[in-house]
Every structure is written in structure tokens, then in C-alpha cells.
Amino acid sequence: STGKRRQQSRNRSNHPQEAHKGPGHTDYNSSDQKTACRKHELYVSFRELGWQDWIIAPEGYAANYCDGECSFPLNAHMNATNHAIVQTLVHLMNPENVPKPCCAPTKLHAISVLYFDDNSNVILKKYKNMVVRACGCH
């Protein structure tokens, strides 16, 4: 019931202890939470790769990645496609043959990279889908 959920949500936000949990937090038990599909932070440093002589900017970028389990209940805070729900049901009925849905990016973001080529010409290129903004079950 959406009405009931809205009520719960209101109660939760009024609870002082919940203030530290951040956006999108839900009350699954801690072991579920650890393995649930979510975005992980991952910074790719061009400087550490020893490329500062040809990549002018940026110094690196937060690429991020998705990892975790996609199993019932598909966490309310996370994007799950309709098909992911069907996939989960079929997996539950036939776990040997049908895999669980995949934990994958649902929102991607572009970055621009400024670099020299072999002729010392400078290239500014927009690379689409470089940064994972959000993860979900597909």
C-alpha cells in the first residue's frame, strides 16, 4: 500500500536517529545491506597512471562501479526494471538454470578530457557514459 509506505516514510524522517543514514537508506538487515546492489566509489587517477605529460585535464575522474546482489526484496531505494522483477521470480522458480538479474548502471554521466596528441595538437573530447551516477537491477 502506497499510503502506508508514505506514512512509514514520514515517521522515519521524523526519527532523530535516522538523520545520519543519508538519502535512500532502507531498513533491511545489515547482511542484506552489505551485499545489496549499489554504487561503489572508484577513482581513476590519470596522474597515478603516469599520464600527466599528455592528459592536461582532468587529473582523474570518479568512474564508480555497480556491485551487489539483486534478490528479493529488490531494495526500495534502488532502480529495478520491471524485467528484473520477473527475472528474480523466474530465478526463484528455477535457480539452477536462470540467473538473478544483473546489478548494472542505470544512470551514466559524461566527462570531458583535454589531451595532447602525438603532433602536440590539443584535443578536447566529450566521452559519454564514463561516470556511473546510479545503479540498479536489470
* C-beta of 32 vs 85, nearer to other proteins: 32
Least CB distance to other proteins at residue 34 (A): 7
* C-beta of 61 vs 138, nearer to other proteins: 61
* C-beta of 11 vs 45, nearer to other proteins: 45
Query: Footprint of other proteins on this chain (CB under 8 A)?
Result: 34, 38, 40-45, 48-49, 51, 53-54, 56-59, 67, 112-127, 130
Place of cell 539452477: 96
Long-range Cβ pairs for the range 73-79 (8 Å, 24+): 73/28, 74/101, 74/137, 75/26, 75/28, 75/36, 75/37, 76/26, 77/24, 77/25, 77/26, 78/24, 78/36, 78/37, 78/38, 78/135, 78/136, 78/137, 79/106, 79/107, 79/134, 79/135, 79/136, 79/137
Least CB distance to other proteins at residue 14 (A): 27
* C-beta of 98 vs 108, nearer to other proteins: 108
Least CB distance to other proteins at residue 117 (A): 5
Least CB distance to other proteins at residue 119 (A): 5
Q: In the numeric block, which cell numbers belong to residue 11?
A: 515517521
